[in-house]
Amino acid sequence: MINKLVEKIKKLNAPVVVGLDPMLNYVPEHVQKKAFDEFGETLEGAGEAIWQFNKAIIDATCDLIPAVKPQIAMYEQFGIEGLKAFKKTVDYAKSKDIVVIGDIKRGDIGSTSSAYAVGHVGKVQVGSKTYVPFDEDFVTVNPYLGTDGVKPFIDVCKEESKGIFVLVKTSNKSSGEFQDRLVDGRPLYEIVGEYVAKWGEEHMGDSYSYVGAVVGATYPEMGKVLRKIMPKTYILVPGYGAQGGKASDLKPYFNDDGLGAIVNSSRGIIAAYRQEKYAKFGAENFAEASRQAVIDMVEDITSNI
């Protein structure tokens, strides 16, 4: 799957991923109304609203983007009905040949991590049958529990030709509280980065590993160091746009081949219609506003790397 992701990024010349993190208040009134008219102001109605919202954005952008990254928390908050919308979104994006990165940030140990891996990027056995529960192409994984927590994901990914992105340095303000702590004079995120590189070495696609890393756009100096520590690691970069990361800061995340990083934007794309810059589209044409925001983002990033 890492080969497919790299190929699509090259072909589209678009090292970007659209974060499908639909807060209900991002969903235009007319989409909410239609869903609530049909299902009431219920969890089912909320699921329907975010699913229709996602579908329209996928339809309007699928020829431009290599990948989407649905953030499962935004669906899980609506319980079972929200998770049904997550599943529909994953399946629909895949039907449009878009790579799906499930932003699930799971992490546990042994058989428990295996269960998450099976549920999201693998197959589960029920008696004599096997099923594919959520079926993302990649998922994000939290490394706090060490190799025991990450290895079960890698094992399933190896079998299924899928992949993971391990949190190394996150984009938020307080990420430094633990991630930046100095261990023998070096920040912890560098140590985590070394583990990611080591895990990845044995799990390579053609040119990059299917064990990737998450490194926030808001810390370019750290991105530079981590790029060197993890030369064969694809870096998923959150924090561009709404969170403050600028395209001019992103060069260090890429290798000289122009590859090695994929930049996420969520709010900046999916709620583009609410920005002054795209207000002319109007809420009715929110998906077209998202399309234009993707075009602008790709231009912004590719002209800076």
Annotated active-site residue in 10, 105, 246, 251: 105
Residue among 152 and 205 whose Cβ is closer to its own copies: 152
Nearer to its own copies, 125 or 303 (CB): 125
Give the shortest CB-114-to-its own copies separation in angstroms: 8
Minimum Å distance from CB 135 to its own copies?
9
Any idea which residue has 């390579």 for tokens?
A: 204
State how far Cα 51 lies from the chain centre.
17
Least separation in angstroms between residue 107's CB and its own copies is 6
Between 110 and 231, whose beta carbon lies closer to its own copies? 110
- The sign one gets for the Cα dihedral 151, 155, 161, 162 is negative
- Nearest distance in Å: CB 132, its own copies: 8
Name the token pair of 278.
């795209």
State the Cα–Cα distance between residues 44 and 38, nearest whole angstrom: 10
Rounded distance, CA 87 to CA 70, Å? 10
In whole angstroms, how far apart are CA 151 and each of 10, 29, 117, 190, 202?
29, 44, 10, 19, 12
Query: Do β-strands 129-131 and 124-126 pair in parallel, antiparallel, or remain unpaired?
Result: antiparallel
Q: Which is nearer to its own copies, 127 or 303 (CB)?
A: 127
Is 105 an annotated catalytic residue? Answer: yes
CB 230 within 8 A of CB 203: no
- Name the token pair of 94: 């895949």
Instruction: List active site positions.
Output: 105
